Amino acid sequence: MRRLYTLVCTFILITTGTLTAQDLLQGRVSGNFQLDAQLYQADSAIGAEDVSEAMLMNSFANINYTQGNFIAGLRFESYLNPIKGYDQRYKGTGVPFWYASWQKESFGITVGHFYEQFGSGMTLRSYEERNLGYDNAIKGARFIFRPYKGIAIKGLIGTQRFFWESGPGIVRGLDGEFAINDLLNILSTDLPRFTLGGSFVSKYEPSAKILVNSDQILILPENVAAISTRLNIHHKGFAIDGEYAHKYNDPSAINNFIYKEGRSLLLQASYSQKGFGMLLSGKVTDNMSFKSKRTERGSMLDINYLPALTRQHAYTLAAMYPYATQPNGEIALQGQVNYKISKGTLLGGKYGTDIAINFSNVTSINRDSINNETPIGKTGTLGYKTNYFDFGDELYFRDFNIEIQHKFNNEFKALVSWINMHYNIDIIEGHPGEEAVKANIFIADVTYKFSSKNALKAEVQHLATKQDEGNWMQAMAEFTFSPRWFFTLMNQYNYGNDDKDRRFHYPTVAVGYTQDSNRLSLSYGKQREGIICVGGVCRNVPASNGLSITLSSNF
């Protein structure tokens, strides 16, 4: 621990050059560490191949130092070599993330690497999703200025992380948010609260010579801007949020180098009171991929973020067909109602019953050709014409699901869920010609507490479909002996595969041990292969078989 402290102190001295040793001793060091390692064994049946390294490992550690209004930190990362399913370009060890940040009166400054989001993220969102190997941290400088109660202005400039390097584009952004009630000194909670916001984001990338055919190249914009405006109204249990974003001509590999301007509109309305909540949301997206490198096809170097208006399922079979936002165009609608049947009623029982109903529907946008001679989406043209809320004919995704949870007594509680899903595998996974997956998924999850510390959780999941790989079932039992141990047994079985030779079992056994903020878990089993397609690039996530080790620690 002392060595670590010395390391951090040295780092702070280097980054600031102004702190005295006495100052440093008054600060606080915090952080976390995680190591994921996998030992691989070949399994020719499921397609799990031998790995020449035998073991692969991803790990990271965040180390932060805080003293008053000053904070600095770094993240160490090591991929030796990246575990299967991760991009091999992460291979190596280093410190790709470091920063120093301080607050001085109404100004906050960050230099180094940082994450940021403007509004809902439609013009700018920098974030990391470690489990997916995604990180588009910005390296540069950022300020946050709060000149008056209710006003927050953010500005930033930097380049984005591209594995161990930075992308070629420079991102500039400015965001302002105005809490109107605070500005006007309206303190009453009986009146609605209004918040207005606006963002301006621009990227610079040097021009390039991209061939359209054998003797013509594109004339490319070096500066591309996106703007957005947003409004939030909150009043007691009601909330309305809206944001509109507009992007200027941005020919890129994702949109097939068309010059049409992009736009996106997100509207959400919600209401909640005790025992009842509802949410309605809608989103229109048209040509809104925004990257700091125009030829980037994969999932890296996104400047903005287009959230999927669909429920993110947690159960394995329900999450087998997840929807991914189609940045080139989609219209999404989502509604959700949560209702708690009161305690003491016939259906509510002693503790009440929670019911959640969710529906989402995503379709294409209707596109018309710009003239009779130009095919829709042709490179080096305006691409196409479209109108707002002009639903296309193609259904990308539909999900209707009901979830009911009931606690019978102090020992026993249960959850059941039914999901009806339509998944356009052609569009979402890039499997042209394949019929959309229409699936019905049933989940039952019960937990029985033997004592205040010991519990058994059992899950049964079933996915029924005539498409793709056919029917699946999964059973899982988890024994928890708090606060130290858990044991899990699980099996997935693709019993409905049309190819009888591919009706595989995917068993897993896992054990975990927790001590204070340290956790070690081991699991041994098989994982099925899959294909991920993003932006016109398809990647195989290979099947694997072997022992997984996860070690995590916080301090």
Partner 1 sequence: MTFKRILQYTLTILSSSVLMFSCDKINEPFTQKIVVDTSSIDTSNIDTTEFHQKRILLEDYTGHQCVNCPAAAIIAHNIENTFGDKVVVLAIHAGWFAKATAGGDFTADYNTVVGTEWDTYFGISNVGNPFGMVNRIKYTTSEHILSPEAWSTEVFNMLEDTVVTVDLNITNLYNIETRKLDTEIVVEYLQVPDKDLSLIVVLKESGIVSPQKNNAPSSGPTPIIYDYVHNNVLRDAINGTWGSVISGISSVGTVKKSYSYTLKDNFVAENCKVVAFIYDEDTKQIFQVAEKEVIIE
* Residues of the shown chain interacting with partner 1 in the complex, contacts defined by CB under 8 A: 87-89, 91, 147-149, 151, 153, 162-165, 172, 174, 176, 178, 183, 200-202, 208-225, 227, 248-249, 251, 253, 257, 259, 294-298, 375, 378, 380-382, 426, 430-434, 534, 536-540, 542
Classify the C-alpha dihedral 134-314-332-529 as positive or negative: positive
Minimum distance from CB of 218 to partner 1 (Å)? 6
Name the minimum Å distance from CB 272 to partner 1.
32
Nearest distance from C-beta of residue 426 to partner 1, angstroms = 8
The nearest distance, CB 388 to partner 1, in angstroms, is 22
User: CB of 355: closest distance to partner 1 in angstroms?
Assistant: 41
**What tokens does 152 get?**
């927050």
CB of 390 to partner 1, least distance (A): 21
Rounded to a whole number of angstroms, the minimum distance from the CB of residue 177 to partner 1 is 11
Residue type, 396: Y
Contacts 24+ apart (CB under 8 A), 429-434: 429/531, 429/532, 429/533, 429/538, 430/531, 430/533, 430/536, 430/538, 431/531, 434/467, 434/468
Q: Which is nearer to partner 1, 275 or 542 (CB)?
A: 542
Query: Looking at beta carbons only, is 9 or 532 nearer to partner 1?
Result: 532
Q: Please, is 413 exposed, middle or buried when counting C-beta atoms within 10 Å of its C-beta (0-12, 13-18, 19+)? A: middle
CB of 264 to partner 1, least distance (A): 17
Q: What is the DSSP string of 238-250?
A: EEEEEEEEEE---
Question: Which of 176/470 has CB closer to partner 1?
Answer: 176
Within its chain, how far is the Cα of 302 from the centroid?
Answer: 12
**Residue placing its CB nearer to partner 1 in the complex, 14 or 217:** 217
Identity of the residue, 221 or 349, whose beta carbon is nearer to partner 1 in the bound complex = 221
What is the full DSSP assignment across 74-122? Answer: EEEEEESSPPTTS-GGG-EEEEEEEEEEEEETTEEEEEEEE-EEETTSS
Task: Write out the two tokens for 464.
Answer: 């029924």
In angstroms, what is the minimal distance from the CB of 436 to partner 1?
A: 14
Two tokens, residue 403 = 């979830």
The Cα–Cα gap between 388 and 494 comes to 42
Residue closest to 400 by CA, chosen among 332, 335, 489: 335
On whether the CB atoms of residues 528 and 23 are closer than 8 A, the answer is no
Amino acid of residue 4:
L
Q: Which amino acid is at 283?
A: K
H or E segment at 430? Answer: none
Q: How far is the CB of 124 from partner 1 (least distance, A)?
A: 12
Nearest CB to partner 1, comparing residues 68 and 375: 375
Radius of gyration of the chain (CA): 26
What's the closest the beta carbon of residue 191 comes to partner 1, in angstroms? 18
d(CA 465, CA 5): 55
User: How many CB atoms neighbour CB 288 within 10 A?
Assistant: 27
The answer for residues whose C-beta is within 8 angstroms of residue 219's C-beta and 6 or more apart is: none
CB of 246 vs partner 1, minimal distance in Å: 11
Q: CA 86 to CA 543: how far, in whole Å?
A: 13
Q: Give the three-class secondary structure for 11.
A: helix
C-alpha atoms less than 13 angstroms from C-alpha of 233 in its C-beta half-sphere = 9
Q: Count how many Cα atoms sit within 13 Å of the Cα of residue 375 in the half-sphere of its side chain.
A: 3
CB of 449 to partner 1, least distance (A): 45
Q: Which is nearer to partner 1, 71 or 201 (CB)?
A: 201
Give the C-alpha separation, 96 to 405, whole Å.
44
